[in-house]
Structure 1
Amino acid sequence: MTNQVLTHQMIAREAAKMLEELAPFTANINKGRQDEFGSDVSGYKKGDTVKIKIPTSGKVFDGATYAGGAAGTDVIEESVNLSLDTQKHIALQFGAKEKMLNITDFKERILRPQMQTLASVVEADLISKGVLGVPNLVSMNTAGTTPSNALALARAKMNQYLTPAGDRSALITSTANVALSGEISRLHNPTQASSKAYLDGYVATAFGSDLFEHQSIPTHTKGTAATITVSAASQTGSSITMTAGTGGTLVKGDVITIAGVNAVHPLTGQDTGSLQQFVVTETVTVSTGTAVKIYPSINPTAPNKTVSASPASGAVVTLASINGVQNLAFHKDAFTAAFAPLPVIASCEGYTARLPSGISVRVMTFGDGNNDIERTRIDVLYGFQTVRGLHAVRIPQVTS
């Protein structure tokens, strides 16, 4: 191949494609929200925020009379904020010799090692944020391993909350992959190739999900509060007052259950007979009458019914979290990320590449006349939010 001078456009496009290929979690979550920040590329800046509306279910009435003779159901849309709050970049120094490499050599010798590092850091950040917003977990029972039915349990849990059947993925550790390999091999159909097989770490498609072996799955260490009870009856909403007989913390990402508060069918509101799992959304030290923020919120009545009943005063709160690696199964729309197309700063040379999938990467070069060198940076600016945490499941892998 004839050598040609590499352009910022060529480098940016290759960098964006690598970021997607090397980051299966990023590739498999919703990234359509960046359009809501506006159409002016120059207007993107750190701190910009949009509100994401979450459609909710209504209430069904019996008979021909409108709303059973009462008023119709108010349309209540919940919402979450998505902010462009994280910027990360890699910094390179290369000159005319490197620019004369053909794009294949440049990709493999210079760009790929750098993008592997950037993708790994971005992935680890996004996965950690995602895990902290997920209340569902399936129990592990063997230290150091993952039972072969773990992904089947996760699939059942997502089905319980009517998670759409398509666009499901699961991130598992290498040791979990070994423990699950027999079951995965039995269920995997090699004649049905996944469209995501090109992504780094792809293992197979089984249990209704594309499975990816991943090295950046976070661990969780649960809080220290014990003998926790609900402080008052009939509480609703996303903040519940609790008391701990043994003072300590509930940390962000802890999963709890409350006695007498069961999960319900998302549409009919029928009691499922199993306790609803909640995730703590802010770290707090629990003493007497401490407000603990949780997701999902407690709402025992339609519309948007989430639980069978409000907790009774003195109801026992159980810390259900399991210390260790938090393997994760999820639907695409459980999470959303926005990668903003950063503008090239005045007096610099550069290009911002934006893939159809929504990933944007800026490559920008500026000179250092004092030292006669050029410096190049590759930047991503992004925001992340958990939108439907009930459409994901944590699969803790006990390590001790």
Structure 2
Amino acid sequence: MANTTLTASIVAKAAVAILENELNMAGSVHRGYEEEFDKKVNGYEVGDTITIRKPTDFTVRTNITASAQDVKEAKLTMTANKIAGVDFQFTSQQLTLNIGQLSERVIRPAMIQIANQIDRDVFALYKDIPQWVGTPGGAMDTFKKFSAGARNFDIRSVPNDGGRNIALSPSDFWDIAGAQTALFNPALVEKAFKSGKVGMVAGLDTFMAQNVPTHTVGPLGGTPLVNGASQNTAYDTTGVNTQTLVTDGWTAAAAQRVNVGDVFTIAGVFDVNPVTKVALPILKQFVVASGSTLNSDGSGNLTLTIAPQIVTSGAFQNCSAAPADNAAITFVGTANT
């Protein structure tokens, strides 16, 4: 019987199947827009950028008088700007192997490398997220510590429709697995004790990932304060969702003070329920956004670029009030750790 020579198409299909199986964090994110990049508009390829509509929002009137609201449909762009590849050559002899042999010996090791790079790229997006729970540097070794993330989802009205996931570093994963062995739940204890499986905990599908990043807080220094009242903005329909925040009170020396991804709160600025707009009993968290100035000047002044915007009224309100002049700014974590 003649050998079947493998073609590029056969190899590519096998590679994609293996890659899908090896993805960890990237396999848990919403991927509803990936097919948009394959579409054609009037015969033309979409290219590397698509536009996504953000949900609109409204306020509720509580009287009999109608009051028409403007419908604001914001948008953001998604750009396919990351590339990950592994290059190698096949010999003519290797191309006569069956696809199973080639997959195990050559394709799978290459796809594992690419999958890990994709996961690292996804994890790197944490710097854009203004949310932090727990104690920086602390072990996640109790259910109370673990469930802080789920509690944060509930407080902020994140849908609990089966799509909640949590990726833990190996040390945190085994800490929470060890905590489960002390529970009076034979089935759960057996999985945790025998195979280290954690499964669904507090409504979160839990898995371990070696690529979970560790954040280092900036050098900080001084007593940072808001410099100037009423630094709130109107909702930006272009999807930027960042603004500048003028601050002072840093150590009076020209030096780096913050890192991108540092999370902080502002005294007197509370979070609100995203649906009802009722103020929550927790301070709003902000993050130092990409592109921000990181260094203070010689007088201790620093204009940060932060996310999200501070919106204090209307359908897209996300803060209870604008920062007051000289309101204290408190960063999560300890400097340089």
TM-score by length of 1: 0.70
- Mapped to 2, the partners of 1:229 and 1:9 lie a distance apart of 59
2:225–2:249 contact (8 Å) kept in structure 1: yes
Higher relative contact order (CA 8 A, sep 6+): 1
Structure 2 SS opposite 1:220? coil
Tell me what 2:230 maps to: 234
- Mapped to 2, the partners of 1:115 and 1:4 lie a distance apart of 23
- Mapped to 1, the partners of 2:152 and 2:126 lie a distance apart of 16
Offset, 1:315? 0.5
5+ residue gaps, structure 1, are: 192-200, 325-399
Structure 2 SS opposite 1:93? coil
Residue 160 (1) aligns with residue 155 (2): yes
Q: 2:74 aligns with which of 61, 74, 78?
A: 78
Q: 2:88 aligns with which of 70, 73, 92?
A: 92
The equivalences for 1:251-266 within 5 A come to 251-266=259-274
1:2–1:102 contact (8 Å) kept in structure 2: no
Tell me what 1:213 maps to: 208
Tell me what 1:397 maps to: none
Q: 1:174 aligns with which of 170, 174, 183?
A: 170
Residue 286 (1) aligns with residue 296 (2): yes
Structure 2 SS opposite 1:96? coil
Closer, same or farther in 2 for the Cα pair 1:2/1:208, shift >3 Å?
A: farther
Equivalent AA in structure 2 for residue 102 of structure 1: N
Tell me what 2:7 maps to: 7
After TM superposition, the structure 1 stretch with the greater mean CA deviation from structure 2, 262-271 or 34-43, is 34-43
5+ residue gaps, structure 2, are: 189-195, 234-242
- Mapped to 1, the partners of 2:335 and 2:220 lie a distance apart of 14
Greater fraction of residues in strand: 1
Number of residue pairs matched by the alignment: 308
Structure 2 SS opposite 1:262? strand
Structure 2 SS opposite 1:91? coil
After TM superposition, the structure 1 stretch with the greater mean CA deviation from structure 2, 94-103 or 288-297, is 288-297
Equivalent AA in structure 1 for residue 244 of structure 2: S
- Mapped to 2, the partners of 1:188 and 1:214 lie a distance apart of 26
- Mapped to 2, the partners of 1:53 and 1:323 lie a distance apart of 38
2:25–2:119 contact (8 Å) kept in structure 1: yes
Q: 2:250 aligns with which of 245, 261, 269?
A: 245
Offset, 1:53? 2.1
After TM superposition, the structure 1 stretch with the greater mean CA deviation from structure 2, 309-318 or 58-67, is 58-67
Residue 317 (1) aligns with residue 322 (2): no
1:120–1:216 contact (8 Å) kept in structure 2: yes
Structure 1 SS opposite 2:57? coil
Percent identity of paired positions between Structure 1 and Structure 2 = 26
1:173–1:217 contact (8 Å) kept in structure 2: yes
1:225–1:286 contact (8 Å) kept in structure 2: no
- Mapped to 1, the partners of 2:105 and 2:131 lie a distance apart of 42
- Mapped to 1, the partners of 2:184 and 2:272 lie a distance apart of 30
Closer, same or farther in 2 for the Cα pair 1:306/1:182, shift >3 Å?
A: same
Offset, 1:62? 0.7
Equivalent AA in structure 2 for residue 254 of structure 1: D
Tell me what 1:396 maps to: none
Closer, same or farther in 2 for the Cα pair 1:305/1:187, shift >3 Å?
A: farther
Offset, 1:290? 3.2
Residue 147 (1) aligns with residue 149 (2): no
Tell me what 1:113 maps to: 109
Structure 2 SS opposite 1:242? strand
- Mapped to 1, the partners of 2:276 and 2:215 lie a distance apart of 34
- Mapped to 2, the partners of 1:141 and 1:289 lie a distance apart of 27
Tell me what 1:104 maps to: 100
TM-score by length of 2: 0.83
